[in-house]
Amino acid sequence: MKRIIFHIDQNCYFASVEMISRPELKDVPMAVAGDAKARHGIILAKNEPAKKYGIKTAEAIWQAQAKCPDLVLVDAHHEKYEFYSRKLREMYSEYTDRVEPFGLDECWLDMTDAVSDYREAEEVALEIRNRVKEEFKLTCSVGISFNKVFAKLGSDYKKPDATTVFSDEDWKEKIWPLPAADLLFVGKHTAEKLSKINVRTIGDLARTDGAFIDRYLGKAGIMLWEYANGLDDSPVAESGYKRIPKSVGNSTTTAEDMTSDRQIERTLHMLSESVAQRLRKHSLKGTVVQITVRDRDLLIYEKQRILYKATDDAKDIYSAAKELFKDSYDWSKGVRSIGVRCTKLVKSDSGEQLSLFTEVQKTERDDRLNKAIDDINRRYGNSVIKSAAEAETVSKVNRAANIVNDPFHPEDEF
């Protein structure tokens, strides 16, 4: 028998959690939003009545209010969302030991050993949906299929509070007519590229020559072609498994546009310290530094640089980030936000080859210093002790640039 995989997706999750304590909002248009005063004025989630007005996640608050002047805005409470996410995963673990989170509100479950066929799988899915309603006052949609990609597609297919099955017998009939953009990891840009070669449905993608798609889309092309043909065999991770992230990053939006190198450098110092500390916390080092810059017109670009050696040291990250910015930005516009990210991560104990004895000494000294700072901050509170550069940066930035850390980064791995 082929595998039986569930994908469970909580409906309007952030908004639904807020409505647990405020049930009067269930029947009025409501959205969880970022802080407009801090220039994070976007919609993070919305309830079903708000959806009827065409309100979309990630659109600006003013755009949503133009569609629905009576829209009720609610602040985000991420500690609540994390709490319910943990409790839901604990419940799912009663059915299988393979529960893999996909964000706070989604999970894959490998139910192959728990059910005998799709009919029984639907019965269990209904039981889970009922328990979610009774025990948590939330609703979810469940997709059932023989792989993770199609199970995810199933949970998106019919909402809210529904179960969809794409079996190994009828999946082509149901899935191939769907838009290519519905497939996991086919974003707006990829969908537009596919449309240019008349690939508009999942079936179109499946029937296109795989080698051509690989050349046309690059390294992701063959993966998407395999997904469209039902060839995903990726396992569902065991409960509690923590994968090594692909990147560690942090970004910030300033209360006013940055207009000088000095403001940028101070901000990059703060971000580099944050990224370095998180790398060390998880015993990781980065081999590539990437910056993301958004100007006052909201245009975004990214630049990256390969490092001489893998690092978890803020000085190395900051130096690369500063040079990337100086080499790429012409100051024709002010900078609204900037981010620093380390990618191509390796474990800290993976070993590295250093050419000079003095370099070995310097690296060992820096590692001891960073460990001492992390130990003190861990025992007595974060940021009790800072490097001299960071301490100067925090003081000056708070006075001059009025930095506001972004509260919501779905792209961040940690």
Active site residues: 106
| Segments in 197-329 forming alpha helices (H) | 202-207, 210-217, 221-228, 261-281, 314-328
Q: Which among 110, 124, 111 has a CA at the least distance from the CA of 163?
A: 124
Peptide bond into 29 cis (omega under 30): no
First to last CA, the chain: 37
User: Is residue 78 within a helix (H) or strand (E), and if so which, with residue range?
Assistant: helix 78-92
Residue where the block lists tokens 């597609």: 153
| Planar angle of CA 385, 346, 320, nearest 5 degrees | 60
Residue where the block lists tokens 């024709």: 332
Query: In degrees rounded to 5, what are phi and psi of residue 413?
Result: -80, -30
- Which residues pair with residue 302 across a beta bridge? 292
Query: Between the CA atoms of 22, 27, 28 and 33, what dihedral angle is there, to the nearest 10 degrees?
Result: 50
Which residue type does 206 have?
Answer: A
Cβ neighbours of residue 83 closer than 8 Å, sequence gap 6 or more: none
| Planar angle of CA 283, 403, 338, nearest 5 degrees | 65
**Buried-state track 271-302, b at ≥16 Cβ within 10 A, e below 16:** bbbbbbbbbbebebbbbbbbbbbbbeeeeeee
CA–CA gap between residue 412 and residue 414 (Å, rounded): 6
Helix then strand then coil, % of the chain, to nearest 5: 45, 20, 35
